[in-house]
Structure 1
Amino acid sequence: MECNEHLLKMLVRDIVAKLPEKEKALYQFIDELEVRLIEAAATPDQYLNLLKKYSPYHEAANQFDISPYKARTMMHRIEWKIAANLEEKLQHIKWLEHPSHGKRVKKGYLVFK
């Protein structure tokens, strides 16, 4: 099913909210750092340079008292979990359209099977 960006963000937020606290905290910490770096960068090259200078994994390692390797490994596992959960949710979404009594506009809504 083709999905719009807003729906995907909503589904990901829902999945993240249901993660265990440690995973949710790490994911949100790294994600927020990456978003700040994206916003600070004017070009993709500048973003990559900022990533090297202010590594979110090193920052998370300091914040959560773990190694940068463990922060990266945990983040990758969390991202895999989110992606799998998102794929499962997308498999169960169906768009239903109902004609509006005599009008040309159709009303639609999402249903989770």
Structure 2
Amino acid sequence: AMNIFAAKDIQLGSVKSAIRLLTNKTFIASAKQQLALESKKSVIADATTNLDVTANQIDASAKQDLTLKAGRSHRSVIQSDINLKADNNLTITAPAGSQLIQ
């Protein structure tokens, strides 16, 4: 498992290359205030089983590709707004039996 915790902010950045966060089991990123992933190229968070990201404010941005992938479950809990924006294509896929709840 990969666990990243902060009392206040977590910021991971890359100017020239990609950010890759990979694990064979569970990926957990948790911050009390802000969690930011920024890259000029691509941001990849990949977990074989569970992907769980929690913070008051979560910013994930990339100039090229942004991938959040989990083999078993990805849980996002938003208290107010979620905004998804893409200059070209935006795709959300879920296997049969999965739910997107509003």
User: How does the TM-score come out when normalised to structure 1?
Assistant: 0.21
Bigger strand share: 2
Return the index of the structure with the highest Cα Rg: 1
Bigger helix share: 1
User: How does the TM-score come out when normalised to structure 2?
Assistant: 0.22
